[in-house]
Amino acid sequence: MSMNNKKSFFSWFKYSSGDRIFTIFVYFIITVLFLVSFYPVYYVLIASFSDYVAANSGNMLLIPSGFHLVGYTGILQLQKIWIGYGNTLIYVLFGTIFGLACSMMAGYGLSRKDLPARNIIMLLMIFTMFFSGGMIPTYITVKNFGLLNTRLVLIIMGSVSVYNIILIRTFFSVSIPNELREATVIDGCGNFRFFIQFALPLSTAIVAVITLYIAIYHWNAYFNALLYITDRNKLPLQVILRELLTSRLNEPSANTEMNEDSMIMLQVIKYSVIVVSIAPIMCLYPFVQKYFIKGVMIGSIKG
């Protein structure tokens, strides 16, 4: 046992019995919450690789039964899956760039105390978090702007969030010292130049957090596509997967026996569809985890 481990071990006995009981209770709750959250994802993963009979019998709980790629081969042979992937990548890329640019500039502007009527602007933005025009007025607005059945509507809709702007505003308020701004003003630095050359390089953490938020939104978004998109070549991945899990999986067959076998097989395809839809965005978390924790904690502690 190393010296540090020995110190940690003996320091445990320095706590009172109440503190030890509380710590054990907290770790127990965290462990239970982790298992409850993680097991459904784990089960879907092993079921997607398992034999389709075992996956639907309910006997497979912790380890996969066999190793089969029937679900994945069935999905990858569908051309509309690839079209949906391509469309989603477009929406995620350009939607994240657009949303990040608007949110960062809005958050920085609202963090400046010399911005005229910034409190009124903030109140109006917060008002939209609780009250909105509704689905029909929004649809009419989108139609009047000529955005129906265009890719631009899915890039714009949902990219800018008041919640994200509040996070950015709080981050800039507590992380960018006024002395730095005053020093740059003396040297003739304007607002835009200060934002690009000083504020953004010091805001890596919040940029990573907001990028993750917006990217996840666009990756999982499907409702706006159902409302505003009629061209199937522009549908995102989540709409395609929704169709696979509803209409295709419930499509009847003329042969009852074949239909039962097909439905059992399609259950495995359903698990594979879920894995395909969540795997890419989950791979993004390890790269931004440290920025995510730092950015959220800075805003929550000092805000």
Q: Are 132 and 191 within 8 A, CB to CB?
A: no
- pLDDT at residue 259 is higher than 60: no
Task: With cut-offs at 50, 70 and 90, classify the pLDDT of residue 91.
Answer: very high
Higher pLDDT, 196 or 260: 196
Q: What per-residue confidence (pLDDT) applies to 197?
A: 84
Q: What is the pTM of this model?
A: 0.77
Dump pLDDT digits (tens) for 17-29: 777 788 888 889 9
- pLDDT at residue 198 is higher than 80: yes
Higher pLDDT, 15 or 108: 108
What does the pLDDT average to over 130-134? 84
Q: What per-residue confidence (pLDDT) applies to 174?
A: 84
- pLDDT at residue 291 is higher than 80: no
| Residue 176 tokens, joined | 């960018």
Q: What are the φ and ψ backbone dihedral angles of 91, each rounded to 5 degrees? A: -65, -40
What average pLDDT does the structure give for the chain? 79
Token pair 């594979």 is at which residue?
Answer: 272
DSSP, res 12: G
- pLDDT at residue 113 is higher than 50: yes
In angstroms, rounded to a whole number, what is the distance separating the alpha carbons of residues 276 and 212?
19
274: number of CA atoms within 13 Å, CB side? 17
What does the pLDDT average to over 168-195? 83
